[in-house]
Amino acid sequence: MSEATSRPLRIAVIGTNYLGANTAAGMAEFGFDVIGVEIDEHRLKLLNDGKAPLYEPGLDPLLKKHTDSGRLRFTKDYREIADWADVHFICVGTPQLEGSEAADLSQVHSVVDMLAPLLTRPALVVGRSTVPVGTSTIVEQRFHAEAPAGTAVEIAWQPEFLREAHGVEDTLHPDRLVFGVQSEAAETRLREVFATPIAEGSPVVICNLPTAELVKAGANAFLATKISFINALAEMADATGADVTQLADALGYDKRIGRGALNAGPGYGGGCLPKDLRAFMHRAGELGVEEVITLLREVDDINQHRRAGIVDLTHEMLGGEWVGKNVTVLGAAFKAGTDDVRDSPALDVAGRIQLHGANVTVYDPEAMENARRVRPTLRYAPTAVEACREAHAVLHLTEWPEFRALDPAALRDVVSTPVVIDARLNLNAETWRTAGWTYRAPGKP
């Protein structure tokens, strides 16, 4: 990997949806020339116009800045990056395999199919995609066998820890950098790539390939465990009259625990955490580590039970009747700041209530189009106020600032029955109650 010492590094980013688009824009911001590889024609055109293929705060301006400067461009032709780039980042998706809990690695292997035969000189191939432990070894074996450069192609793994709605910030200012490497040369190269955040103080962890793969899986599993843990405590709070928010605040002061992710609510969702947790369980099963499966199966079950609990609470607040009742769901994205509706608790709850026979109307500031594709039989309204019209219950299921800013006094005149279920524990309970609403929140007295 010595050919690039006389000139600045050139970076290729393969796969440019959420992870890849943030990575490509971030590498350009760090000062490198970047080519992103995207095979989808529609997405390719958007990216070359400086537009992200999804909603992510701050990403469009960053893409536009560097596509206009000429530092960043996108192509569908692997031949443009094969001899050009010194570092190739693999950022393709690894969704859940249909009919299984395992990760679908077809996109990762497709990258090897397309890139390996074209690599004729030394290069560093860096995986950022979330994969089951052991995948990097298989990828390395394939590159060494199929690339003309053979073992001069080195594999590293550098897991990402991007939070949707904070992807740009997390790319430019990561809270840690994990380099799974097999040589000092690979470590040096990655330190050069990430010189800017390292200079800002981002800590660096150097480890081997399987450790890097497990770091991401372990981080997601622990996060899911914290979320399910506080939601289990919310049920204890409901049974005893305790306040789960105050409980979480008190627990959060313990430095061994921390306050992050101890927010009770409808549970976790999105395109990463649920499928990554299940892929981790699947890999643990392949390795015979039954204790991991037992623990994480319970974590996943608690998460699903939380959604059912919100449906049950809605049924209670509707007087035990579904048919003829109008239910408003505020939120469709799995969390605020994104248009991602994959495994969204909000849409799952909306769908379950509709199946019981109620009329369900949904509003979300950013995710309406995606929601309609996933749940076309639900009703959709152009504004939050319109969604609430004639409602017998309003469910707050995604914590958008717009919903917290609603005027409950004015909204009182729009609904049929002033009942609000604050599943995100994000509204001001006293304000809503003072305005004449029956306010309920899981885990709150």
The verdict on 305 and 169 lying in the same domain is no
The mean pLDDT of 298-324, rounded to a whole number, is: 97
Task: pLDDT band for 7, please (50, 70, 90 cuts).
Answer: confident
pLDDT score of 371 more than 80: yes
Radius of gyration of the chain (CA): 24
SS3 content of the chain, % helix, strand, coil (to 5): 45, 15, 40
Between CA 391 and CA 133 the distance in angstroms is 48
- What tokens appear for 120 in the block? 């004729």
Phi then psi dihedrals of residue 441, to 5 deg: -145, 135
Contacts of 64 (CB under 8 A, 6+ apart): 50, 51
pLDDT in tens, 201-233: 999 999 999 999 999 999 999 999 999 999 999
338 is in an annotated binding site: no
The per-residue pLDDT for 82 is 98
The verdict on 44 and 183 lying in the same domain is yes
269 is in an annotated binding site: yes
Provide the domain limits for residue 320: 301-440
Domain boundary (207, 222, 243) is at 207
The mean pLDDT of 144-148, rounded to a whole number, is: 98
Contact 77, 39 (CB under 8 A): no
Q: Using a cut of 0.85, tell me whether the model's pTM lies above it.
A: yes
pLDDT in tens, 265-284: 999 999 999 999 999 999 99
275 is in an annotated binding site: yes
Between CA 53 and CA 344 the distance in angstroms is 19
Task: pLDDT band for 5, please (50, 70, 90 cuts).
Answer: low
DSSP state of 444: -
> Would you tell me how many other CB atoms lie within 10 Å of the CB of residue 286?
12
The verdict on 308 and 198 lying in the same domain is no
98 is in an annotated binding site: no
Q: Is residue 214 part of a domain?
A: no
67 is in an annotated binding site: no
In terms of Cβ atoms closer than 10 Å to its own Cβ (0-12, 13-18, 19+), residue 429 is: middle
SS3 93: coil
The per-residue pLDDT for 1 is 54
Which neighbouring-strand residues pair with 379? 361
Q: Is residue 24 part of a domain?
A: yes
Which CA distances in Å does 276 have to 55, 94, 98, 281, 349? 22, 9, 14, 9, 22
The verdict on 188 and 307 lying in the same domain is no
pLDDT score of 384 more than 70: yes
The per-residue pLDDT for 261 is 93
The verdict on 188 and 40 lying in the same domain is yes
Q: Is residue 376 part of a domain?
A: yes
Q: Is residue 316 part of a domain?
A: yes
403 is in an annotated binding site: no
Q: Is residue 239 part of a domain?
A: no
Mean pLDDT of the chain: 97
The verdict on 195 and 330 lying in the same domain is no
> Could you tell me the maximum CA-CA distance found in the chain, to the nearest angstrom?
74
pLDDT in tens, 102-119: 999 999 999 999 999 999
The verdict on 175 and 314 lying in the same domain is no
Rounded to the nearest angstrom, the gap between the alpha carbon of residue 197 and the centroid of all alpha carbons in its chain is 22
76 is in an annotated binding site: no
130 is in an annotated binding site: yes
- What tokens appear for 76 in the block? 């569908």
Q: In degrees to the nearest 10, what's the CA dihedral of 147, 212, 220, 30? A: -80
Q: Is residue 253 part of a domain?
A: no
89 is in an annotated binding site: no
Between CA 23 and CA 17 the distance in angstroms is 10
The verdict on 200 and 310 lying in the same domain is no
Domain boundary (207, 229, 251) is at 207
pLDDT score of 4 more than 70: no
DSSP string, 238-302: HHHT--HHHHHHHHHTSTTT-STT---SS---SSSHHHHHHHHHHHHHHHT-HHHHHHHHHHHHH
The mean pLDDT of 329-354, rounded to a whole number, is: 98
Question: In the chain, how many domains are there?
Answer: 2
SS3 350: helix
- What tokens appear for 197 in the block? 């955040």
Residue in the block written with tokens 């105050």: 246
Cα atoms found within 13 Å of the Cα of residue 415, Cβ hemisphere only: 29
Contacts of 373 (CB under 8 A, 6+ apart): none
Q: Is residue 361 part of a domain?
A: yes
Q: Is residue 74 part of a domain?
A: yes
User: CATH number of the domain that 324 lies in?
Assistant: 3.40.50.720
pLDDT score of 301 more than 90: yes
Which strands form 10-14's sheet, in the order they lie side by side? 72-75, 33-37, 10-14, 87-90, 123-127, 153-157, 177-180, 204-207
Contact 315, 302 (CB under 8 A): no
Catalytic residues: 272
The per-residue pLDDT for 75 is 98
Which CA distances in Å does 190 have to 26, 88, 127, 177, 185? 14, 11, 12, 10, 9
The mean pLDDT of 376-404, rounded to a whole number, is: 98
Domain boundary (153, 177, 207) is at 207
Contact 395, 362 (CB under 8 A): no
163 is in an annotated binding site: yes
